[in-house]
């Protein structure tokens, strides 16, 4: 049988910060089977049969919301692990496969074009369900809108970084041309 310490370590491995409140105060393990964990900060309580094995967490059910009510819309609905990770923006920004400084101008311009197309899809929401599928099926409209707009903002930031690299190159090139003796 798994120990309370093992279950807490498992939860911390998957969620170093609480999915609802973002605190890193750890979790209290509850239940005879040790199949409940509760955030020591906000009081949100999850249940999962996966806690009993102590090996991996595939899905969890929010049993009690946070003290401030956050999460009440997701009560007692079994959700995959990626859903709970998305609550604290666990999806990192995807960096280009190569360093920007090593890419050609054409590759950078292609990335900007691709990014602009991506922003349009997130801004209008046309690919929302294609990207997140079941993750957003039972979310509220406000939550879906927030996720969509945050994704558009992230894409815009990536575009700005790439455009800054193109501008830096253009300035360096123009500086080199001005400094050449005639």
Print pLDDT tens along the chain (182 aa): 788 999 999 999 888 889 888 888 999 999 899 999 999 999 999 999 999 888 889 999 999 998 988 888 888 888 888 888 777 643 333 444 456 667 788 888 888 888 787 777 665 554 444 445 444 455 677 777 777 778 778 888 888 888 888 888 888 888 777 666 65
Q: Which pTM does this prediction carry?
A: 0.48
Distance CA 164, CA 6 (A): 47
The predicted structure's pLDDT at residue 48: 92
| pLDDT at residue 124 in the model | 53
pLDDT at residue 139, as a whole number: 61
Model pLDDT, residue 22: 83
Instruction: Say what the pLDDT of residue 54 is.
Output: 81
pLDDT of 82: 82
């Amino acid at each position: 049988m798994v120990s309370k310490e093992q279950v807490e370590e498992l939860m911390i491995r998957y969620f170093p910060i609480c999915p609802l409140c973002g605190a890193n105060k750890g979790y209290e393990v509850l239940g005879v089977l040790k199949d409940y964990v509760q955030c020591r900060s906000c009081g949100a309580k999850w249940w999962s049969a996966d806690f009993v094995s102590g090996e991996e967490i595939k899905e969890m059910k929010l049993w009690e919301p946070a003290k401030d009510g956050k999460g009440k819309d997701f009560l007692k609905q079994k959700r995959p692990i990626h859903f709970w990770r998305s609550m604290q923006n666990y999806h990192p920004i995807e960096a280009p496969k190569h360093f920007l400084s090593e890419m050609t101008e054409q590759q950078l311009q292609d990335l900007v074009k691709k990014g602009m197309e991506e922003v349009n899809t997130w801004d209008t929401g046309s690919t929302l369900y294609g990207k997140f599928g079941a993750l957003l099926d039972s979310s509220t409209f406000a939550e879906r809108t927030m996720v969509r707009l945050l994704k558009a903002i992230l894409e815009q930031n990536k575009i700005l970084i790439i455009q800054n690299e193109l501008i830096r190159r253009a300035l360096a090139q123009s500086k080199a041309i001005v400094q050449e003796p005639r």
